Structure 1
Amino acid sequence: MSTRAVLEVIALDAEDAIAAQAGGADRLELVTDMAADGLTPSVETFVAIRAAVDIPLRVMLRLADGFAAGEVRRLVEVAGRMREAGAEEFVLGFLDAHGGVDLDAVESVAGALAGCRWTFHRAIDRAADRDALRKSLDGMPGLDTYLTAGAAGGVDEGLPVLLAEAGRRGEPGYEQQILVGGGLRLEHVPQLVAAGADAFHIGGAARPGGWQEPVSAPAVAEWRAVLDGTPQGA
């Protein structure tokens, strides 16, 4: 029996969150400032969204544009405040100047999460060596997901990588769920599902009016219908 594919939607505020849940989203990624590709929202925003919906929320831990960790102490403090406010799931990912994973920063922030589940985000798509990054993070407490388009340029460019990585699920460094996102379109879904992908992430696709407009429940519902109507492993 196939399990329902995960649909994660980016939410900037409670209005987005309510519409995404109404459309059939399974989980939300909470961010602010999409001009910087998504930074940590305020605790107040998290609290408002948590009160508005009952689906899981993953809170971005990222203080500035780019993939450098910046002030790790601040990140740890922010993570602590979010946990105190009730956050239970997170999103993070840091690279060093050479495109390798910044293991010290990731370990410090993940340590502050004390076992909470978290996603390593699209920093993997900027890594010098994706396979080395995955293997260096193998066994990291709480890491259960990689958000990836397969390439920095998005799913159109990265589709061969995504299909290959989906086929490696369960190998060392590849146990985590692949959450496909970054230029993802509905026409990509059948091939990805057939290869074993079972989690999908949308941002702009949930907002037909652009980022200046809120999430559209009907747009999310269209994605839900496609995911529910695409047999896994077909």
Structure 2
Amino acid sequence: MSIVSTDQVPGHGPAPLLEVVVLHPRDVAGAHDGGADRIFVVDDLGLDGLSAEPSVVSAVCKETDLPVRAMLRLNDTFTTTGGELTRLVGLGEDYLAVGAEGVSFGFLTSDLTVDVEVCAHLADALGVVPWTFHRAIDASLETSLAWRQLRGLPGLDAVLSAGSSRGMGSGHEELTDRAVSDAGVADLLMAGGGLRGEHVPWLVRAGVHQFQVASTVRPGGTKKAHVDAGHVRAWRMLLDDAADRAAGRPTG
């Protein structure tokens, strides 16, 4: 298997990073063999992701040498309570102990702004490991404010967004415009949540280099089907081709 490096590509920033969402160890082979750069473990695809059992994360980590991240989220909202926060810290510690490289979480206040206090507490409690702020940003009241709030959080290296709570079909232009106008956004943005092939060239040209796929790498788009290597490989080739074209390199 050839895994594309995320090192700097001469003339056009980092190479595309492809993160594949998995539900269990049986999904790992398809992601690995198809050319994923990173694996993201969740318990449910239908609720924007919930926390998996540590045993599941452990089993996934044993199946691959790719970096693995795991979701820290215990309910189907983007808020959390003090009791949940204690459980989330414990879960995060368990995930890291069984081999996860990082985590993903994201919380908002009752005013629908980024809950900086909760997010910073989690990041600090886990030792400032790399982490992704997930789709909560698409539910925030003011996206520009949310991006400003996120920039100072320790360890944050990705912000998963579709540009709209309705998904990429509604939000891809917003994402592209924001990335074009702000290189800091482009560097942090992980495009995902209804991502389609036609969105990729525009996002890559805007400087976006992180992408997440979930149901589109499963035959029929159903969670009952395992991640398929051929489907992952098609995304891998699409991202690499878009990066080559954006950089003016010859394509195959």
Using the size of structure 2 for normalisation, the TM-score is 0.87
Aligned counterparts of 2:204 and 2:247: Cα–Cα separation in 1: 6
Asked if 1:220 is matched to 2:232, the reply is yes
In 2, the alpha carbon distance for the partners of 1:86 and 1:192 equals 31
- Residues 110, 175 of structure 1: alpha-carbon distance in 2 compared, 3 angstrom cutoff: farther
Matching residue within 130, 133, 136 for 1:120: 133
Let me know the Cα RMSD of the aligned residues.
1.6
Structure 1 residue runs of 4 or more that deviate by more than 3 Å after TM superposition: 168-171
The alignment status of 1:38 with 2:52, answered yes or no, reads no
**How do 1:99-114 and structure 2 match up within 5 A?**
99-114=112-127
Q: Identity percentage over the alignment?
A: 37
User: Can you give the 5+ residue segments of structure 1 that lack an aligned partner in the other structure?
Assistant: none
CA shift digits 1:81-108 (9 cap, x unpaired): 2222232211000011221111221122
Provide Cα deviations, 1:115-174, integer angstroms capped at 9, x if missing partner: 200000010000001121221222211001110011111112112221122124445xx3
Equivalent residue of 2:223, what SS?
A: coil
The answer to whether the 8 A contact 1:146-1:176 is kept is no
Structure 1 equivalent of residue 215 of structure 2: 204
Which residue of 163, 176, 182 corresponds with 1:150? 163
Aligned to 1:129: 142
Aligned residues: 232
Q: How does 1:1-234 map to 2 (within 5 A)?
A: 1=10, 2=12, 3-70=14-81, 71-171=84-184, 174=185, 176-209=187-220, 210-230=222-242, 231-232=245-246
Distance (Å, rounded) in 1 between the aligned partners of 2:58 and 2:121 = 24
